[in-house]
Amino acid sequence: MNIYQLTIRQLKQTANEPVTKPIITIAFLLNLMTLS
């Protein structure tokens, strides 16, 4: 659960930057696939 919380925090912090948004989204999906 801690991993998810940290990832969500990173998503919220960098959500304001439109350039890094797609990169973070892809990384988030890859993390979900790896953990599940």
CA atoms of 14 and 34, how far apart (whole Å): 22
Q: Helical H runs in the chain?
A: 2-14, 21-35
Model confidence pLDDT, tens digit, residues 1-36? 566 776 777 777 766 666 667 777 888 888 888 876
Rg over CA atoms, the chain: 10
Domain ranges of the chain: 2-35
Q: What confidence score (pLDDT) does residue 17 get? A: 64
The owner of tokens 């960098």 is 14
